[in-house]
């Protein structure tokens, strides 16, 4: 299984295992080296002392004294002692078994060949001369050979065959102890690695599980946010993304349901009117004409809604904006001219304050739609005899539109919602005046596309003012 969890586990285990193994081996090496060196120093010193003590008697060939000397030394040295002459023949042996014989002990041969001393440890079975009688080959033994110096140079070799089994045993037990500690640490490392890998991978597994659920269509699932650092950030970011997706999905559903509802109303009205006309063939002519006018009005409304919906979807798709140098002064005056008849019909007055020669780099038809929708609202939501004032000015380098009316106004709690799609303050009245609640959301989107901002100041009963500000430079594309 190549999952991240197993990789973490393996990596952790390998790192801890290898480092401990290296540490343990070098520690054992150092300890053995130290103990060996100490032993070698001890043995060499003892052999040297023996060689010096034996030199006198060996030269004078006083066998009894020599034997006594050897016995004394052997008692303190815990081993076998031998004296060998320059021909390699054993002259004295504390075990008495090899006197007069030649033995091929490498250390002795090396001293005979000219070295001052020679030392080596032999593993069981490799030793030629046993350290204890009758136990040959069963133990580790150390050979420490040293020349015996007479007045005219070397007169023989002293050989000390020492028992090093204890040393080897304690080394072995050190090794065994280290090995068992190593095994314990390895098991502990494995357990820690297991726990650690679980802690590390749990959040990732949670994200993956949630993603799978979301992929199946449940947009409400979230990842539990735990711990700290990158994994917490991952969970948080994922949840933010999921929330965004969910809200997008909701608003899309809302949009579709609102749109269908808005389309259904005029259709239902038209159906009632049509059915009345079908089932009342003898309907008076004026009533029939009225019905037909109403139907025409409903068709206009339908067309209006469909047009607005199309505009909105195009804006959603971020369809290419045309960019031109637009004469804002001219555009404003043109829109005022276009809407004057509608205002006059309501006996409203439009007052204008348009600064000349103001240009903006943008999409002419969209800019036109912005001011048109705002003025259309002002006219629609202002009672007869009201005043609508439109101004275009340059303020602090920005181009600013203000559309003000002394109409019905907008309650505070509705002000933050009026830019949402299909939002109408007074649902019933909105329908009378033919509003769908799309106008301001289109305006907001288009203002945003020009890098501008829109705000509203309004008091119910007193009127409203919409302010659109375009920065002249640095519009977002």
Using the rule CB under 6 A, which residue among 381, 390, 447, 450 binds ligand ATP?
381
| Contacting residue, 47, 377, 406, 445, with ligand ATP by CB under 6 A | 377
Q: Measured from the CB of residue 271, what is the shortest distance to ligand ATP in angstroms?
A: 22
Query: Is 464 one of the binding residues for ligand ATP (CB under 6 A)?
Result: yes
- Give backbone dihedrals phi and psi of 73, rounded to 5 degrees, phi first: -65, -45
**Which residue intervals of 101-164 are DSSP H helices?**
106-112
Select the binding partner of residue 407 from Mg ion, ligand ATP, none (C-beta < 5 to 8 A, by kind). ligand ATP
The partner in contact with residue 362, picked from ligand ATP, Mg ion, none with C-beta cut-offs of 5 to 8 angstroms by kind, is none
| Cross-strand partners of 162 | 79, 142
Position 447 contacts ligand ATP (CB under 6 A):
no
The reply to whether 348 sits near ligand ATP by the rule CB under 6 A is: no
**How would you list the strands of the sheet with 153-163, edge to edge?**
90-93, 79-85, 153-163, 141-150, 117-122
Under rule CB under 6 A, which residues in 287-346 are in contact with ligand ATP?
308
Among 88, 430, 451, 471, binds ligand ATP (CB under 6 A): 430
Residue 378 as a binder of ligand ATP (CB under 6 A): the answer is yes
Minimum CB distance to Mg ion, residue 424 (Å) = 9
Helix spans in 61-164 (H): 63-77, 106-112
**Interface with Mg ion (CB under 5 A):** 377, 439
Q: List the beta bridge partners of residue 352.
A: 390
Smallest distance from the beta carbon of 320 to ligand ATP, in angstroms?
24
CA distance 31 to 168: 12
Is 144 or 458 the residue whose CB approaches ligand ATP more closely? 458
For residues 156 and 437, which CB has a smaller minimum distance to Mg ion in the complex? 437
Q: Of the two residues 203 and 437, which places its CB atom closer to Mg ion in the complex?
A: 437
Cα–Cα distance measured from residue 131 to residue 135, given in angstroms and rounded to the nearest whole number? 8
d(CA 332, CA 372): 9
Q: Which is nearer to Mg ion, 111 or 408 (CB)?
A: 408
The whole-angstrom separation of Cα 335 and Cα 193 is 74
Torsion angle of the four alpha carbons 80, 84, 89, 92, in this order, in degrees rounded to the nearest 10: -50
174 burial via Cβ count (<10 Å: 0-12, 13-18, 19+): middle
Dist CA 366 CA 311 (whole Å) = 10
Residue 112 vs 371, nearer CB to ligand ATP: 371
Distance, CA of 119 to CA of 70 (rounded, Å): 20
Which is nearer to ligand ATP, 421 or 450 (by Cβ)?
Answer: 421
We find the least distance from the C-beta atom of residue 424 to ligand ATP, in angstroms, to be 3
454 binds, among ligand ATP, Mg ion, none (CB under 5 to 8 A by kind): none
Residue 211 half-sphere exposure, CB side, CA atoms within 13 Å?
A: 11
- Contacted by 436, from ligand ATP, Mg ion, none: CB < 5 to 8 Å by type: ligand ATP
Please, how many CA atoms are within 13 Å of residue 5, restricted to the half-sphere of its CB? 13
Helix boundaries (H) for 280-396: 285-316, 328-345, 364-380
Member of 372, 405, 445, 446 binding ligand ATP (CB under 6 A): 405
CA distance 209 to 216: 11
3-class DSSP state of 286: helix
Q: Minimum distance from CB of 303 to ligand ATP (Å)?
A: 12
Phi, psi dihedrals of residue 102, rounded to the nearest 5°: -105, 130
Q: Does 258 bind ligand ATP (CB under 6 A)?
A: no
Q: Does 425 bind ligand ATP (CB under 6 A)?
A: yes
Identity of the residue, 59 or 269, whose beta carbon is nearer to ligand ATP in the bound complex: 269
What's the closest the beta carbon of residue 344 comes to ligand ATP, in angstroms? 18
CB of 312 to ligand ATP, least distance (A): 10
When the beta carbons of 90 and 305 are compared against ligand ATP, the nearer one is 305
Residue 418 contact among ligand ATP, Mg ion, none, beta carbon within 5 to 8 Å by kind: ligand ATP
Q: Which residue is nearest to Mg ion (CB)?
A: 439
The CB-of-440 to Mg ion minimum distance in angstroms stands at 6
As beta bridge partners, residue 206 has none
The closest alpha carbon to 438, from 424, 422, 449, 425, belongs to 422
Q: Is 107 in the site for ligand ATP (CB under 6 A)?
A: no
Q: How far is the CB of 319 from ligand ATP (least distance, A)?
A: 20
How many whole angstroms separate alpha carbon 190 and alpha carbon 126? 42
Distance CA 208, CA 223 (A): 9
Note the residues at the interface with ligand ATP (CB under 6 A): 308, 373, 377-378, 381, 405, 407-410, 418, 423-426, 430, 435-441, 464
């Amino acid at each position: 299984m190549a999952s991240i969890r197993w990789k973490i586990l393996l990596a952790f285990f390998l790192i801890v295992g290898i480092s401990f193994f290296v540490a343990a081996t070098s520690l054992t090496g150092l300890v053995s080296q130290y103990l060996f060196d100490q032993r070698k120093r001890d043995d060499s010193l003892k052999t040297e002392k023996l060689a010096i003590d034996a030199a006198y008697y060996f030269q004078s060939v006083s066998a009894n004294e020599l034997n006594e000397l050897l016995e004394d030394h052997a008692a303190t040295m815990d081993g076998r002692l031998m004296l060998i002459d320059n021909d390699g023949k054993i002259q004295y042996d504390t075990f008495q078994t090899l006197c007069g014989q030649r033995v091929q002990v490498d250390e002795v041969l090396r001293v005979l060949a000219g070295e001052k001393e020679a030392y080596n440890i032999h593993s069981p079975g490799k030793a030629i001369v046993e350290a204890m009688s009758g136990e040959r080959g069963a133990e580790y033994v150390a050979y420490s050979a040293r020349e015996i110096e007479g007045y005219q140079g070397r007169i023989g070799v002293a050989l000390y065959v020492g028992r090093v089994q204890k040393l080897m045993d304690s080394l072995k037990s050190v090794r065994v102890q280290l090995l068992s500690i190593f095994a314990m640490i390895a098991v502990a490392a494995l357990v820690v690695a297991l726990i650690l890998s679980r802690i590390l991978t749990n959040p990732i597994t949670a994200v993956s599980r949630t993603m799978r659920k979301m992929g199946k269509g449940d947009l409400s699932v979230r990842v539990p946010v735990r711990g700290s650092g990158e994994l917490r950030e991952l969970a948080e970011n994922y949840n933010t993304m999921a929330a965004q997706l969910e809200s997008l999905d909701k608003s899309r559903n809302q949009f579709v349901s609102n749109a269908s509802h808005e389309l259904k109303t005029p259709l239902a009205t038209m159906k009632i009117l049509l059915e009345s006309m079908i089932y009342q063939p003898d309907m008076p002519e004026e009533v029939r004409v009225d019905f037909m006018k109403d139907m025409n009005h409903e068709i206009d409304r339908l067309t209006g809604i469909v047009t607005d919906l199309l505009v909105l979807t195009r804006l959603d798709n971020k369809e290419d904006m045309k960019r031109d140098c637009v004469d804002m002064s001219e555009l404003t005056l043109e829109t005022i001219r276009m809407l004057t008849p509608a205002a006059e019909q309501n006996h409203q007055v439009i007052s204008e304050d348009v600064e000349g020669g103001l240009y903006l780099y943008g999409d002419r038809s969209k800019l036109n739609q912005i001011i048109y929708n705002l003025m259309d609202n002002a006219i629609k939501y202002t009672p007869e005899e009201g005043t609508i004032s439109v101004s275009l000015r340059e303020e602090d380098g920005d181009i600013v539109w203000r559309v003000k009316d002394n109409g019905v106004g907008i309650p505070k709690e509705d002000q933050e919602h009026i830019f949402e799609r299909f939002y109408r303050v007074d649902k019933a009245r909105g329908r009378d005046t033919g509003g769908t609640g799309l106008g301001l959301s289109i305006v907001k989107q288009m203002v945003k596309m020009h890098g501008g901002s829109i705000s509203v100041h309004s008091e119910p009963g007193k009127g409203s003012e919409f302010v659109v500000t375009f920065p002249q430079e640095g519009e977002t594309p």
